[in-house]
Amino acid sequence: MAGTIENREFRRACARFATGITIATVTAADGAPHGFTANSFTSVSVEPPIVLICIDHKANVITHFNAANAFAINVLATSQDQLSNRFAERGQDRFDGVEWSAGDNGAPILRGAIAHFECTIESRIPAGDHTILLGRVTAAGYVENGQPLVYFASRYHRLGTGL
Ligand SMILES: Cc1cc2nc3c(=O)[nH]c(=O)nc-3n(C[C@H](O)[C@H](O)[C@H](O)COP(=O)(O)O)c2cc1C
């Protein structure tokens, strides 16, 4: 199929960029929490504070992010690899048994995350098969010595010792 090799090479090259892992969350109009695993998180601007995530147009959860005017980003700890899997898989209640509390904007803040950002939606930019969701950060918090869950070459890792 035309383009298949290039697509694979593109994905493999992208996978050489190590990232942390986040779970982006929203609360729907009926009060139900929704969220998905995202490693596309990036900080964009300091003044004003703006971050972004990219959402696949095929993701069911995009409906809730399109309807919301606020969301939260939860940065996962090393021990939260199962949570990352759960929020990337379909067919289960992702929040079942998960401890969370609503942030000021109502979006779920997950217990155990090493940092979180509460955001109001600044803009949505269509980009190919994803939408870039820009969020103005209205509140943030972090754990001083939190250790991150790292994603590299399509696998989870923990941080090694510093250089
Ligand atoms: C490590 C990891 C990182 C991911 N990052 C993203 C991302 O940045 N954007 C995205 O749209 N999907 C990402 N996904 C896939 C989504 O989590 C997944 O497609 C989504 O949860 C689909 O569920 P839904 O269709 O029920 O909403 C990632 C998955 C994993 C395992």
Ramachandran angles phi, psi of 145, nearest 5°: -110, 25
- What is the rounded CA–CA span in Å between residue 27 and residue 71? 8
Helices (H), 15-147: 62-67, 81-86
The H or E element containing residue 141 is: strand 130-142
Q: What single DSSP character describes residue 160?
A: -
Of all protein residues, the one whose alpha carbon is nearest to atom 7 of ligand 1 is 38
* Stated pTM of the model: 0.96
The number of the ligand 1 atom at minimal distance from the alpha carbon of 84 is 31
Mean pLDDT score of the chain = 96
Q: What percent of the chain has pLDDT over 70?
A: 98
Tokens linked to 150: 């790292």
Residues 116 and 70: beta-carbon distance below 8 Å: no
Contact residues of ligand 1, CB 6 A cut-off = 21, 36-40, 53-56, 59-61, 84, 87-88, 90, 151
pLDDT at 2: 54
Residue spans of the domains in the chain: they are 19-152
The correct CATH number of 19-152 out of 3.20.190.10, 3.40.50.300, 2.30.110.10, 2.40.50.140 is 2.30.110.10
Q: In angstroms, how far apart are the furthest CA atoms of the chain?
A: 49
